[in-house]
Every structure is written in C-alpha cells, then in structure tokens.
Amino acid sequence: MWGELTISTRCSSSEYIRGRSRAARETWTWINRPGQKKIPPLHANSKTTFCMSSSNSLKTVNITYQDGDVELQAYVAFDSQAEGPLPGVLVGHTAIGMQEEFIYEQTRKIASLGYCAFALDMFGTGEVVLDPEKRGALLDYFKQDRSNVRRRVAAAFHALCALPEVDEQRIAGVGYCFGGRVMLDLARSGLPVRGVVSLHGVLDAPELPDHPAISAKVLAIHGHIDPFTTPEKVLEFEEEMERKNVDWQLHNYGGTMHAFTRPDKTLDEHRKAGFQYDRKADLRSWRATTQFLEEVFEC
C-alpha cells in the first residue's frame, strides 16, 4: 500500500494535512487550528493515511510539503517504536536532487542512530535531474539569489518541526555537496538549529543584506583537493566563522577529492571531473558526523 501525506506551510492562520490510501481509497483532512502545532502521528493509522516501508522498527514515509506554490517532496525515516519525540535531522541532497538511493540510504542511516531524518527537497522536480541544462538552471536559481536557499530550507525546517515524532527544540542538519551549502545557509539564516554538517559542500557565504547571528554549531568536512572549493575559499570560510564567533570545526582530509562519501564515484571519468570516492574519508566523516550529532543533541 502506498499513499501520500501533504503538509501545507502556506497558510498563515492554519495548516492542512491531506492523506490518501490507494488501497482503501480514502482521504482525510486535518486542520491545525490556532494553538495546535503538530500534525497527526506519522505512524498513527497507516491504513487511512499512507504506507510505510519498514526494516524492523525503522519506518520510511514520503511527505509532500510546500514552499509558496512549489510542491516539494521529503523522504522521512524514523524508529516507530522509539519513546518520546526524537531529535530531527534535515538531510540535504546533492546537485541531482533528493530522489536517489544515495540520499535515501544516508537518511535511513541517520534515522538508525535514533533520530527522525528528513531528506528535504530543494528542486521540486519529483525526480533526479540528470539533464545538465535543466540541472544548471535549477542550481543557478539558488546561486544567483541565496535568499531562495534560505526560504526553501526554512520550509523544510518548519515541515520537520510539525511532525509529532520530532522534538522541535532539537533540530540539526547534514548535507552532501549542494546540500552542504544548504545546511550552512540554514545555520546562517538564524533558525534555531543545534548544529549543521557540510560534507564536501561549497563553503562560500551568501551576499545578503542581513546577517543573523549563527547559534548553530558547525562542522565542515572537506577534501583538500576538492576542485569545487579551493584553499582560498576554505580560508574565507574559516575567517567568516571566526568573525561571527561560531562554534565551528573543519576536517580537511588530505589527498581527498569531491564526493568522497559516494561509492558510485570510482571511474576515471569521475576523477577527471573532480569526483572520487574515498573509503577512509567516508568512514572518518561518518564517525565525525555521528559524534557531532551526539554532541549537539546532548546540549
């Protein structure tokens, strides 16, 4: 049985949820009236809402949410047997979009640590974007005006916080490649997140008129010979973090290129383009990420 859950963050006075079970052919609507912040539990009634796939108690749910008129999808994983609200972790996708097995796998791995992991959607395309021209246009939309990044990741943040499985006071973010930049911009936005991790992400700061204080802890994990983030850009990032008095870390892995966490990047053509999987860097970065999340959620 497959189904849908829709979260609308467009309404100023209320939010609505709409679910559909293809097996039961039933629909329902739940209104979040003033004073109510949470939607019905994701695992409350899968018969009339949506389907979950499971591995033991790990559940995954496909969610639709909104940024203005743009419909976005999220892939959410959590332990349905966990007691009490869980810390929430936003997961930022790479430059080809959210709907790929790499992001699904990372989301499930993070959820297996005891968190509600929410793979956000920056593109709203409903599928991975492999066409270079189309992908370039999507990335330019965010590159040319970084307020678009801030607004769209904020939509995901609020959608995650609305889930009853989630402790909205304990939110963090982990992003890969393009998603690393997204998570850094989440921290720069001033939203109340405990910490963010950027893995082989672009580190440059946005040129925006407002510069909110960064309360989140920041961990940037970088490959020293990543051609997309030069040593000069790394230095600029370090100076930004110091200037803004951020609790920050930079792990700089020697001899390591872009996309070092991706086991599919092993061909000569990948290396020539600047992409190369590195097993040691992958394992080290995962260990660093898990320790960082433990730290920020213990505060």
Task: Tell me: pLDDT of 290 over 80.
Answer: yes
On the question of pLDDT at 224 being above 60, the answer is: yes
CATH of 55-298, one of 3.40.50.1820, 3.40.50.740, 3.30.300.30, 3.40.50.300: 3.40.50.1820
Task: Identify the three-state secondary structure at position 26.
Answer: strand
Cβ atoms of 117 and 108 within 8 Å: the answer is yes
Q: What is the mean pLDDT of residues 285-296?
A: 99
Q: Could you report the per-residue pLDDT of 67-115, keeping only the tens digit for each?
A: 999 999 999 999 999 988 999 999 999 999 999 999 999 999 999 999 9
Nearest to 82 by CA among 49, 110, 106, 112: 112
From 21-35, 189-203, 220-234, the region with the lowest mean pLDDT: 21-35
- Residue with token string 């001033």: 190
Q: What is the mean pLDDT of residues 245-263?
A: 99
Average pLDDT of the chain is 86
Q: Which residues pair with 73 in a beta bridge?
A: 64
So what's the pLDDT on residue 83? 87
* Whole-number pLDDT of residue 109: 98
Query: CA nearest 115: which of 197, 27, 31?
Result: 197
Q: Where are the alpha helices (H) located in 145-228, listed in sequence order? A: 147-161, 178-188
Query: In the prediction, which pLDDT does 39 show?
Result: 59
For residue 36, name the pLDDT band (cuts at 50, 70, 90).
very low
Please give the pLDDT value at position 51: 37
Please check the confidence at residue 6 and state whether its pLDDT lies above 70: no
Confidence grade of residue 40 (pLDDT, cut at 50, 70, 90) = low
When pLDDT is cut at 50, 70 and 90, the band that residue 42 belongs to is low
The pTM of this model reads: 0.85
Q: Which pLDDT band, with edges at 50, 70 and 90, does 201 fall under? A: very high
Q: How many CB atoms lie within 10 A of CB 76?
A: 26
Asked whether residue 299 carries a pLDDT value surpassing 80, the answer given is no
Q: Which two tokens stand for residue 122?
A: 């920056």
Mean pLDDT, to the nearest integer, of 248-267?
98
- Residue 45 predicted with pLDDT over 90: no
* Residue 176 pLDDT class (50, 70, 90 cuts): very high
Tell me the pLDDT band of 175, cut-offs 50, 70 and 90. very high
pLDDT at 209: 87
**What percentage of the chain exceeds 90 in pLDDT?**
79
